[in-house]
Amino acid sequence: MAAKTTLNAKNLESLGAQRLAELLIEVSMGSAAHKRRLRMELAGNHGSAEVAREVRKRLASIARARTLINWHKVKALKNDLETQRKTIAETVAADDPQEAFELIWQFLALADSIFERSNDRGGSLIQSFHQACEDAAAIAGSAKIDAHVLADKVFKAVQDDSYGQYDNLIAAMVPALGKDGLDRLKTLVAQWSKEPKDKPAEEERKVIGWGSGGAIYQDEIAGTHRDLTVRIALQQIADAQGDVDAYIGQHPEETRKAPMIAADIANRLLSAGRAKEALQTLDGADRRGWAEMPFEWQLARVETLEALGRAEEAQTYRWACFERSLHAGHLKAFLKRLPDFDDLEAEEKAFAHARAFPDVHQALVFFLNWPALAEAAKLVAIRKAELNGDLYELMTPAAEALAEKHPLAATIVLRSMIDFALDNSRPSRYKHAARHLADCASLAPHIDDFSNIRSHDAYVAELKRRHGKKHGFWRLVP
């Protein structure tokens, strides 16, 4: 049973309305965010119109701000934006979708002013605007906005997409736009693509860099950006209309041979029931510079072979791809199509292949992700001399995964990182190496047989013999 002092809604109710109100005033002192939240709740008591008024005032205030948003201010701004966005989408939209539609566009219009003065390395702020695009689409449907009016607003937004805030807007708006809206939007974008690009007088052109061909002018970059925006918009519209040929047509001829784009096109052809053309597209991809074609291309080829009724060839290709890359996706698909019990034999064959794979680290990744921790432990024990302790982004999670049931293997992995740090005199890693040594000490009692490696005490003694003068490390050892 929860104590009477536990912070939960039931216990707080016992304080009574007056005391809770006093506490809220006290807690909100000095916190603009808390005060705004309380004002929003009070506005809610007077209906959605009052809530909308408060939101509009706050959005206008954010738009007027000019102070730099440093990284430590991003979280507070993110919370503020989310409060306004959710209030629009959940509270105002429920009572007045027309008002909510205007507000969500006012919200989206904040993007440029915010990104011009912010340092959002984590990308958290852009997520709010991408979600607002989804909200705008849902609200547009509820508000029954005229398709042509909506298409015009979407077009204007796409034109002004300086920071990628509208990247998902067209796809989100497809249901609300409908056929008429999509046709209208396509026409607007196509007309824009044909408009002459304004070019300033030569003496007014701004040089922003130099390339092998000479000066690079700002208006040239702007033109390239517009061309790209048009192409992406028309591709999204073509997808929404199910027009595969229009989608393909928006890719310049020279880019269609890039493996990832070829796979992208092939998937759409496949969905349209044009498997032969999909295979031709994939086979025409440019393999230069690719030691191994990307997984997406390989997957598209396998699915195309299946669609053409060439299942046996698809299976052979899956296995060949797995043998070259140890990609678990290929193996899982291969095993799934085998008869009962045959899959067990094939899995063992795959494990044997992985154990002998030239790159021990790629093999370790495969076993950890499968997951097959017993196989990972076996690999580590057999090929410990090949482990590169510099790969801490792999070795650290590997040791954690192996520790519980395979303490000897985990110890070997940890020692590889310790040895690398000390053998290569990396003071920046001494703190981590000392922690790894402590982890080895905690694992030692759980190891019945150290087999052909030194016991923990013997390993520590050897470290002291070889690296006893590295006092920066030993000071950190418990």
Q: Are 380 and 364 in contact (CB under 8 A)?
A: yes
User: What tokens appear for 152 in the block?
Assistant: 């015009």
Instruction: Name the residue ranges covered by the structural domains of the chain.
Output: 372-478
The pLDDT of residue 241 is 96
Q: What pLDDT sits at residue 16?
A: 73
Nearest CA among 295, 298, 300 for reference residue 264: 300
* Distances, alpha carbon 314 to alpha carbons 100, 219, 318, 334, in Å: 51, 49, 6, 9
Q: Nearest to residue 401, comparing CAs of 371, 431, 428, 424? A: 371
Residue 207: per-residue pLDDT:
43
pLDDT digits (tens, 9 = 90+) for 428-454: 999 999 999 999 999 999 999 999 999
Q: Which residues pair with 442 in a beta bridge?
A: none
Q: What is the pTM of this model?
A: 0.76
Q: Pairing relation of β-strands 214-217 and 207-211? A: antiparallel
Q: What are phi and psi of 207, to 5 degrees?
A: -85, 125
| pLDDT of amino acid 216 | 40
Q: Report the alpha-carbon distance of residue 217 to residue 222 in Å, rounded.
A: 9
174: nearest Cα among 196, 202, 154: 154
**What span, in angstroms and rounded, lies between the C-alpha atoms of 416 and 403?**
15
Separation CA 164–CA 27 (nearest Å)? 38
What is the SS3 assignment for 370? coil
Q: Beta partners for 388?
A: none
**pLDDT value of position 33:** 62
Alpha-carbon distances of 230 from 120, 171, 218, 311, rounded to whole Å: 27, 15, 19, 40
Tokens found for residue 222: 């702007």
CA pseudo-torsion sign 171, 176, 180, 184: negative
Instruction: Give the side-chain half-sphere CA count within 13 A for 460.
Output: 14
Residue numbers in the chain where pLDDT is lower than 70: 1-5, 7, 11-12, 15, 19-47, 198-223
- Which residues neighbour 381 within 8 Å (Cβ) at sequence distance 6 or greater? 408, 409, 412, 451
Burial of 98 (0-12, 13-18, 19+ CB in 10 A): middle
Compute how many other C-beta atoms are within 10 angstroms of the C-beta atom of residue 237. 23
Confidence (pLDDT) at 478: 85
Angle at Cα 354 formed by Cα 353 and Cα 357, nearest 5°? 90
CB-based contact 420:391 (threshold 8 Å): no
- pLDDT in the model for residue 9: 73
d(CA 79, CA 249): 42
